[in-house]
Amino acid sequence: MLTYTPDQIRDSRLKPGNTGLVLPVRAAFVILVRNSELHQLRATIRQLEDQFNARHRYPYVFLNDKPFTEEFKRAMEWVTSGDCHFGLVPYEHWSMPPWIDRVRAKWAMTMMGSRVPYGDSESYRKMCRYESGFFFRHPLLDGFDYYWRVEPGVEFTCSIPYDPFKFMVDNNKSYGFAISLREIPVTVKSLWKTTNAFRAAYPDYTAPNNMLRWVTAPDGDYNMCHFWSNFEIASLAFLRSPQYTAYFDFLDRAGGFFLERWGDAPIHSLAVAMFLNKSQVHYFDIGYYHSPFQNCPTDPHFNAQHCFCNSNHSMIYNEDSCTNDWLAL
């Protein structure tokens, strides 16, 4: 049995210069990351600070299934302007639940193997389950209303001359995305069927002006469209809602995180499509790159003034993007 010190479980490092700072929104960057990704994350945060946060000083919440090293914490303190909170993910949130048939799960990983990205990875499945159902329950997020998810290695290729958190609040938005695309079908074989079973069990939970059209193929099946969740700016109240948590519990019981390879991106997206009205969702046309795709603003004036990305390469022009269909709803 591993035991951790209180500082390994939860370590808040506040910057003296931020004392008395009042932010317009109770919001934070949330970053699930391994110690080994320190250098990729430093590069990412450096850009995020230059393009946006140095002018705002929003705090950061770093989460990890293993204790952060002192080296990692120091590096993050140096590169950030906002306060830093380091948290350990509890074991129950990062594990295969007891009701999963181990033999079937093992078989699924063997079958997918290397034919599907992370097909044979158990830790990737734990990560997807964590990002689907648990990160927003971490006590370090208790005081926050909105989050912006960041991953090591992503790039912010344009300055952000406004406050996206404040935009979310002022415009009554619950979920914001930058890139949408299509999921690999074998990873979500029974997700649509399970989602329909959930809707039948909880008919009152579907929003009146929902976006289910956006995720439904002409034959009534799932069309694989989803928001790419490595970037999202969203309301924590949405994830904490009875609708979302009931949906996650229903999916978790069905076991597809391990018996297939359900990603947190299609799950967040199907929840958004069911539970939110279209007006509560926002496409952030910001400069954002996560290999191998990017969103790059196409307005020539904005791009020239604020960006270092080539708008011809923006995902919006890719036939696998679902963003134009979303805009057309």
Ligand X SMILES: Nc1nc2c(ncn2[C@@H]2O[C@H](COP(=O)(O)OP(=O)(O)O)[C@@H](O)[C@H]2O)c(=O)[nH]1
Binding site for ligand X (CB under 6 A): 32-34, 37, 64-65, 123, 127, 151-152, 230
Binds 209: which of Mg ion, ligand X, none (CB < 5-8 Å by kind): none
Comparison of 65 and 120: residue with beta carbon closer to ligand X: 65
Catalytic residue of the set 49, 183, 232, 260: 232
Comparison of 100 and 127: residue with beta carbon closer to ligand X: 127
* Position closest to Mg ion via CB: 151
User: CB–CB of 34/45 below 8 Å?
Assistant: no
Q: How far is the CB of 289 from Mg ion (least distance, A)?
A: 11
Range 299-306, long-range pairs (CB < 8 A, 24+ positions): 302/158, 303/158, 306/158, 306/159, 306/161
Q: Can residue 120 be called a binding residue for Mg ion (CB under 5 A)?
A: no
Is 232 a residue of the active site?
yes
Closest CA to 57 of 13, 26, 23, 101: 23
Q: Distance between CA atoms of 211 and 203, rounded to whole angstroms?
A: 15
Q: How crowded is residue 128: how many other Cβ atoms within 10 Å of its Cβ?
A: 24
Q: How far is the CB of 65 from ligand X (least distance, A)?
A: 5
Q: How far is the CB of 32 from ligand X (least distance, A)?
A: 4
Nearest-5° Cα angle at 240, 269 to 55: 80
Q: Which of residues 204-263 bind Mg ion (CB under 5 A)?
A: 230
Q: Can residue 155 be called a binding residue for Mg ion (CB under 5 A)?
A: no
Comparison of 56 and 125: residue with beta carbon closer to ligand X: 125
Q: Can residue 151 be called a binding residue for Mg ion (CB under 5 A)?
A: yes
Q: Distance between CA atoms of 278 and 299, rounded to whole angstroms?
A: 24
Q: How far is the CB of 70 from ligand X (least distance, A)?
A: 16
Tokens standing for residue 40: 């990729």
Active site residue ranges? 232
